A and B are shown apart, each in its own frame.
Chain A
Amino acid sequence: MVVTTIISYLFLAVGCFLIVVASIGIIRFPDVYSRIHPAGKSDTLGQAMIFIGLMIYEGLSFVSIKLLIIVIFIFITNPTATHALVNAAHAAGLKPWEKGDDRN
């Protein structure tokens, strides 16, 4: 097994871990403002790790440049989408969760 393959598998494992952790966070957090936190950061970094692993596996070629374009695009758009979401939720008058409210 080549060294670059091992490094790419390492990146893929870290990306899988981050994506599963982000999913558990989206399920477990109590309200929409705290759910944005895993969806905006952990998910973005998880997909970036998986794409970087694929880039290292592929080597320098046209395919890896396409992968880099997808990574940059999602790094820009995913936090923008969550920012628009928290703006809309705040404009609609959604109250943040406080200690003692029920978790749903």
Chain B
Amino acid sequence: MFDAVATIIVFAAILVLYRVIKGPTIYDRVLAANAIGTKTVVLIALIGFIYERPHFLDIALVYALINFIATIAILKYQEMGRLD
């Protein structure tokens, strides 16, 4: 069952990748990349359950944090032109 869920999430991430490649503005690309990052967090937790390694949940938590920080940093740089 976990294998099937992981496969469906990879399929959804490939669907969203279309918007990353085609998206007319930079905001579409950032939005789609953020959505792919959220799916990746779920995927890492599912892989931890499939291989019965609970340590993968720490990696999922750190990945969620990096995903949020990256989105905010890109948007702030786009809006203000600097990061300090």
On A, residues with C-beta under 8 Å from B are 9, 12, 15-16, 19-20, 22-24, 26-27, 32, 35-36, 39, 43-44, 47, 50-51, 54, 57, 62-63, 66-67, 69-70, 73-74, 77-78, 80-82, 84-85, 87-89, 91-92, 94, 104
Contact = CB atoms under 8 A, between A and B. Distances in A.
Interface of B: 1-2, 5, 8-9, 11-13, 15-16, 18-19, 22, 24-25, 27-28, 30-32, 34-35, 38-39, 41-42, 45-46, 49, 54, 57-58, 60-61, 64-65, 67-68, 71-72, 75-76, 78-79
Given A19-B39, A88-B78, 13 more contacts: A12-B2, A19-B9, A23-B35, A24-B15, A26-B35, A43-B35, A47-B39, A50-B42, A74-B64, A77-B67, A82-B34, A85-B27, A94-B27
Contacts, number: 128
